[in-house]
């Protein structure tokens, strides 16, 4: 009886370690986007993860600076790491442009979420 309890407890602990590790890989539940700017956005990361995949927002770049698709488990950098004004495409060259293109574009396409300034940047 004791041996069976020990085995069950060990198995449960083993399985729980996977669920805790999976939760940790999802990033923070809430993020302040553009924290250094004039109008930061309080972003509910966990709520978005309920409806979309990581690859719908996150991507990386190759050695030549071209955008490449997100690969499960890749290190996720801050958007400003690349969208720092150095990108040739004026629409997404800085973080503000990239966020407005990606976030507003998705909200408009899905007909969900805010698309006007005050929806993301409420006055305090």
> pLDDT per residue over 23-80, tens digit each?
446 889 999 998 877 889 999 999 999 999 999 999 998 888 888 999 988 889 889 9
Q: CA angle 122-46-81, nearest 5°?
A: 75
The reported pTM is 0.71
- Give the pLDDT score at 65: 82
Alpha-carbon distances of 94 from 44, 61, 82, 84, rounded to whole Å: 22, 15, 8, 5
71: domain CATH number is 3.90.10.10
* Number of structural domains found in the chain: 1
Contact 51, 110 (CB under 8 A): no
For residues 93 and 33, give the distance between their C-alpha atoms in angstroms, rounded to a whole number.
Answer: 16
Q: Which domain holds residue 19?
A: 2-120
Confidence of residue 9 (pLDDT cuts 50, 70, 90): very low
């Amino acid at each position: 009886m004791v041996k069976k309890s020990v085995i069950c407890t060990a198995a449960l602990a083993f399985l729980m370690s996977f669920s805790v590790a999976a939760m940790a890989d999802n990033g923070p539940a809430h993020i302040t986007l553009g924290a250094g700017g004039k109008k930061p956005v309080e972003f509910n990361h966990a709520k978005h993860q309920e409806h979309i995949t990581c690859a719908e927002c996150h991507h990386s770049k190759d050695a030549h600076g071209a955008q490449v698709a997100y690969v499960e488990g890749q290190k996720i950098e801050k958007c400003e790491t690349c969208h720092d004004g150095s990108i040739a495409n004026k629409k997404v060259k800085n973080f503000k442009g990239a966020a407005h293109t990606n976030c507003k574009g998705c909200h408009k396409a899905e007909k969900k979420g805010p698309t006007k300034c005050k929806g993301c940047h409420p006055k305090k």
